[in-house]
Amino acid sequence: MTAFYEDYYAQTDADKRKKLLDDMDFSTENPMEGSQQEQPAYQLIRTLWQMRYVDPKSGRRVDLFLWEILELICLYGNARFLKKSTQKDARKALKALGVQEAEKYGREGEEILYQELCNAVRLYLHTCESKSYHKRLFGLSEMKEPEWQKKVSKDIWRLSTGVPRRLDMTREFSVLSKAAKDEFCRQFENGEALLREREEEFTHGKNQK
């Protein structure tokens, strides 16, 4: 990736990301014919920023991608018994995450969406470092690191594998699944091992909820 893309996708603050977009001059960073507004990659990146950070009803600054990630993780339990209605909810969430928008841009759109979803998953993982996430037993005690890592890996496994598998939506989830797994493994040195453990648990019925 160019320096712009590296800086943009490394940044998780919405306003700082917007400034990077506004200040970007594609004509010098990535020479192409036409203005930056005419370039498909730039158009999609700006569209995803808008979809992610601006509430369509109120116009308030939010992070809708983070919200949809949480929503999809929570859908795992419903997917076991309410498959059809949960499929509908999952498709709505994927649309809100820009999957349909990115498909208009082909392979390039898929790569841009992948990077954006990696950014959103990274932010989610950072929120999991909070003390409130580490609490258990009604907040009376705090999880040790192995227990906390297991909890996070359960969330990522549900998001990347559990929900799409239960809903028979593996293809629809392909970009999100890859982003969730890859980013988790980048953030945790033992990420691959943790996900294999969760796969073993969930596949053999030790943790089906």
Which of these, 178, 46, 63, lies nearest to 110 by C-alpha position?
178
- Asked if residue 30 is part of any domain, the answer here is yes
- Domain that residue 172 falls in: 3-203
Residues 6+ apart with CB under 8 A from 163: 72, 73, 75, 76, 79, 90, 169, 173
196 in a domain, yes or no? yes
Residue numbers in the chain where pLDDT is lower than 70:
1, 25-38, 130-146, 205-209
Residue 42 and residue 26: Cα distance in Å, rounded? 8
What is Dmax (Cα atoms) for the chain? 61
What per-residue confidence (pLDDT) applies to 24? 76
Our count of domains for the chain comes to 1
Question: Is there a domain that residue 52 lies in?
Answer: yes
Q: How far is CA 28 from CA 16, 42, 97, 109, 114, in A?
A: 21, 14, 30, 22, 24
Would you state the pLDDT for residue 168? 96
Q: What pLDDT, on the 0 to 100 scale, is given for residue 132?
A: 55
pLDDT value at position 20? 92
Is 35 a domain residue?
yes
Separation between Cα atoms, residue 24 and residue 4, nearest integer Å: 7
Q: Where are the alpha helices (DSSP H) in the chain?
A: 3-10, 14-23, 26-29, 40-53, 64-81, 83-96, 99-103, 106-127, 131-134, 145-157, 163-166, 174-187, 191-203
Per-residue confidence (pLDDT) for residue 155, from 0 to 100: 94
Residue 144: inside a domain: yes
Residue 209 within a domain: no
Q: Is the residue at 182 inside a domain?
A: yes
